[in-house]
Amino acid sequence: MFIDLNVPAPTPSSQLGQSQSKKGKGKQPAAPATVTFAPGQISSLENRIDLLVHLGYTVLALNQTIQTKLEPKNHVNILDPLLAQLRERSGLVLLKRLTIVLDEGSEKGFGLTTQNTPLVASYDILSLLPTTQNSLSLACLTHTLPSPLTTHIIALPLAAPRLPFRLKHTLIRTALKNGAVFELSYGGALGADADPSSGMGEGGAGAKRNWWANAREVVRVTKGKGVLVSGGIVNDADLRGARDVANLMTVLGLSPDAAHHAATKIPQSLILRAQTRRTYRAVLSEPKVVFPHAQTTQPGASAPAPQPAQAVDPPVQAVAVTDPIPVTDMPEQSTEMTAKNVNGKRQRDESTAPSKNAGHTADVDKDGAGRKRKKTKTKDGGP
Amino acid sequence: MVRFKNRWILVEFIPCTAPSPGRTPAAQAASGGIGGSDVETSSKQIWAALKQSVITHFGDTGWGAVGASLTVKYYSPRTNVCIIRVARDPYRIAWAGVTMLSTIDGQRYIPNVVHVSGTIKQAQLAAIQHNREVIARYRALAKTPAGYQDSYEEFLQTSAQEIEALQD
């Protein structure tokens, strides 16, 4: 199951006209209500997706790139109408991704704030492409914390001669601990013409040399742990199969199983983690507050009786019951764990607002119990 | 025992035209032919292109590690399927050389490594399996009924015989 998280989406023809006519702030023309793509662009994208399927990829993410700042006024999600125009394919999953290229202009802030959350809520994955030292530290430290705005992918401009910043271990380690991954686009390895909007610079032999040098550096600093490979290919002729790309990573110094994970397991867990943007601070189960009654001596004893009936309900209720009363029987705990598994899995599919509120109360509840609950990742929800 | 160990790499070269969108195998089937480039590629040209690619990317030392043992054992111009034999130790260098190939004789290709194995038998089986999958894909696109006898059947048999005839 191979995943390519960077298939550059074509810029729609209507938007190109727009960007030429307006200049800076002032009277903004209204953003185009409909985004139109030329039929040639649609057919070339269809061809590229065909090729990717032939090469063995099953999950793709269409990538929309934005320079410098995310402006709510004229930002249009071009991926939604694009996806609507593509042919139906079974066995293929298409995701939507937004990349913001950070340069000097974005150091003061580039629009990834809580007030812009509804704008970015329609994208499945967010990512940043820092080009300066300051923007790199911004990206690694602040934007990887769990929130509705977490950017899970940090892409680096590998084709630039001499990376404009030093990759410090502390920065990278914090980002990895928060769950971000660093992305290597294999297009640069072949000296391909880079995506012009991605800010990576031109292709050719020089870019190839820089790519190898810089990619090796990234692998060294991350010690092979949080590395993701993806395409970023503009020309169809530069596409490569997933196992070929894994082999190229081995040449970079990545161990063979880490290279294989970089195209399978790491993007897989990344997509799941990206869904935590919809939850409150990456808590995935839905806790429910239960106030223990003063009269009943053992609320824990009454729990096993209604347990089968409650197996369908948010079973974290059972956990909340046990919080104030630490004495629990073993069988009760095992049933509650399995019930939590069943529901934990279901919770992942549903959204959003209820879990946010529940998360709040859960915080209150757990503070009262004095026990710290870490980020519940999908470990217990997994098969 | 000190035996000389090899790796057999099964590569499919997908022809495409750049920079305009590549013609996928689906498009080619629709146009009624498999392959169809004007230039006749042969195993010698593949070997030359591979040698050039390894020298450009891994230098003379890379070619030195790989060159003595690199042979192109089988190439079918109809399906663009190629079987390459390399020594086991530097096989990743040869594999990377194949991946970084972009043109053979001026025609652009996408090299797609389908299978890597340590014995010739597995490589033969993988090649036959790959041919069958490709034919199945063409047939699914053409929507021919199940029992229909078409020219693909004969192609499958002749290619299977050629592949089986491979010697170490």
Q: Is A254 an interface residue toward B (CB < 8 Å)?
A: no
pLDDT grade for A82, boundaries at 50, 70 and 90: confident
The tokens for A326 are: 């630490």
Contact B99 A248 (CB under 8 A): yes
pLDDT grade for B18, boundaries at 50, 70 and 90: low
Counting the structural domains of chain A, the total is: 1
pLDDT in tens, B43-62: 888 899 999 999 988 999 99
Q: Is residue A171 part of a domain?
A: yes
Average pLDDT for residues A246-274, to the nearest whole number? 86
Question: Do β-strands B6-15 and B81-87 pair in parallel, antiparallel, or remain unpaired?
Answer: antiparallel
Higher-pLDDT residue of A285, B14: B14
Q: Which residue of A has its CA nearest to B94?
A: A247
Q: What residues of chain B lie within 8 A of the CB of A53, using their CB?
A: none
CB A92 within 8 A of CB A58: yes
Q: Is residue A301 part of a domain?
A: no
**Is the per-residue pLDDT at B91 higher than 80?**
yes
Report the 10 Å Cβ neighbour count for A15: 16
- Give me the percent of chain A exceeding a pLDDT of 90: 0
CB A277 within 8 A of CB A301: no
**Mutate which of B10, B79, B110, B115 to disrupt the A interface (most A C-beta within 10 Å)?**
B110
Is the overall model pTM greater than 0.90, yes or no? Answer: no
**Mutate which of B17, B79, B100, B109 to disrupt the A interface (most A C-beta within 10 Å)?**
B100
Q: Which residue of B has its CA nearest to A192?
A: B102
**Mean pLDDT for all residues in chain A:** 69
Q: Give A383's contacts (C-beta < 8 A, 6+ positions apart).
A: none
Measure the N-to-C terminal CA separation of chain B; round to a whole number of Å. 19
Question: Do β-strands B81-87 and B71-76 pair in parallel, antiparallel, or remain unpaired?
Answer: antiparallel
Q: Assign residue A230 the CATH number of its domain.
A: 3.20.20.140
Q: Is residue A121 part of a domain?
A: yes
A vs B, Cβ pairs < 8 A, gives 73
Contact B113 A251 (CB under 8 A): no
Nearest-CB residue to B22 (from A51, A240, A243): A51
Q: Is residue A370 part of a domain?
A: no
Q: Is residue A26 part of a domain?
A: no
**Distance (Å, whole) CA B152 – CA B138:** 9
Q: Which residues of B touch A (CB under 8 A)?
A: 14, 16-27, 92-93, 95-96, 98-100, 102, 108-113
Amino acid found at A211? W
Helix (H) or strand (E) holding B122: helix B120-142
Confidence (pLDDT) at A306: 42
Q: Highest mean pLDDT: which of A17-21, A113-117, A344-348, B73-77?
A: B73-77
The tokens for A132 are: 């300066």
ipTM: 0.80
Q: Is residue A25 part of a domain?
A: no
Q: Is residue A158 part of a domain?
A: yes
Q: Is residue A327 part of a domain?
A: no
**Is the per-residue pLDDT at A377 higher than 90?**
no
Number of H helices, E strands in chain A: 15, 7
Which residues span the domain enclosing A229?
2-12+34-282
Q: Give the minimum alpha-carbon distance from A44 to chain B in angstroms, rounded to a whole number.
A: 5
**Is the per-residue pLDDT at A379 higher than 60?**
no
Contact A235 B18 (CB under 8 A): yes
pLDDT in tens, A199-249: 445 556 777 888 888 888 888 888 888 888 888 777 878 888 888 888 988
**Is the per-residue pLDDT at B166 higher than 50?**
yes
Average pLDDT for residues A267-280, to the nearest whole number? 79
